[in-house]
Amino acid sequence: MDETLVTLTRGGFDESVHRGHAVVWRAGSGPVAVWGDADAVILPRSSCKMMQALPLVESGAADRAGLTTRHLALACASHNGAAIHTGLVDTWLADLGLAESDLRCGPQFPDDREARKDLTCSDRAADQRHNNCSGKHTGFLTLTRDLGGGPEYVDPDHPVQRAVLSAFEEVTEQSSPGYGIDGCSAPNFATTMSGLARAMASYAAAGTGGSAREDAMVRLREAMMAHPDLVAGEGRACTRLMRAAGGRAAVKTGAEGVFIGILPDRKLGIAVKISDGATRGAEAVIASLLVAAGVVDPVDPVAEELTRGPILSRRGLHAGTIRVAEHLAGWRP
């Protein structure tokens, strides 16, 4: 069963409740905190992009293509479609000798305000570069070129997706029970809450100078923390929380209320899933767990906003608050 993790109050009334699951896993020892059901099967959605990018780096394809930490951060991104995102996709595709039409993620109107304004005030339409997953897909194209695969790299039987599934099952230490098609048309492999948290703990504990997989994990998590603006964008919780953590955590959202955390100095992995799919619930829980783990200051404005609010009226009046469950907010590693 899931359990109540976040409550929104207004005028002294509990107005909305977000139930869900959360697991904190320590590498080498197992679960250290569980709320809800650690065995609940979920689709991690975009929270697992660092696992989808693992074959790109581990295989050596990233190095053979001359990718930098900025490329690796973008491969793990659900970005806003701002110029810093689409510009890097442009040059990355050009370096591969490819074009926007080679992507298979589909067009998306960007969330970035300036990019939206630019498109609205011009005669240009949004294209696949603006898709929040275009960095991941350009990474897939890099890998398929290296593998000699065909252009339909989102096909579940394509060599790219077979490589992703193999890596996914190895780092979660579970066989995936199946997949769903993500919003970007790529397969999204299912796992349990404990499998997702265990995988993130592996990323947290990985060290350089070991196996090719560990080196790849380190490079991906460090790229995310070095470039939080590329992983999401201005105003987004991923970007703001990684900045607040100051290099002590990599975090990543996923659609339908999923969030993960990678805490290298604690060797902890975090997985969060809100049952009703509400992003605000997932953001409140991940922020609270980062505070409890000691990697984000509890009085940091980002942490306060995500875990307590306030909820304001359109005139700026205090209308409500966010309340994270006490037993979750009081957890300590």
In sequence order, the 6+-apart residues with CB closer than 8 A to the CB of 87 are none
**How confident is the model over 32-48, as pLDDT tens digits?**
999 999 999 999 999 99
Q: Residue 210 above 90 pLDDT?
A: no
User: Which whole number is the average pLDDT over 86-94?
Assistant: 98
Q: Residue 81 above 90 pLDDT?
A: yes
Q: Where are the alpha helices (DSSP H) in 251-315?
A: 279-292, 301-308
User: Which whole number is the average pLDDT over 172-188?
Assistant: 98
- Per-residue model confidence (pLDDT) at position 90: 98
How far apart (Å, rounded) are the C-alpha atoms in residues 295 and 282? 18
Q: Residue 123 above 90 pLDDT?
A: no
- Residue 214, sorted as left (phi over 0), alpha (psi -120 to 50) or beta, turns out to be alpha
**How confident is the model over 151-164, as pLDDT tens digits?**
999 999 999 999 99
- Per-residue model confidence (pLDDT) at position 330: 79
Whole-model pTM: value is: 0.97
Report the alpha-carbon angle 243-26-164, nearest 5. 75
Share of the chain above pLDDT 90, in %: 96
Rg over alpha carbons for the chain, rounded to the nearest Å, is: 19
- Per-residue model confidence (pLDDT) at position 118: 94
- Per-residue model confidence (pLDDT) at position 94: 98
DSSP label at residue 37: -
Q: Residue 208 above 90 pLDDT?
A: no
**How confident is the model over 218-256, as pLDDT tens digits?**
999 999 999 999 999 999 999 999 999 999 999 999 999
Total structural domains within the chain: 1
CATH at 70? 3.40.710
User: Which whole number is the average pLDDT over 62-69?
Assistant: 98
Range of the domain at 28: 3-174+181-329
DSSP label at residue 130: G
The H or E element that residue 217 is part of is helix 212-226
Q: Residue 333 above 90 pLDDT?
A: no
Q: Residue 168 above 90 pLDDT?
A: yes
Share of the chain above pLDDT 70, in %: 100
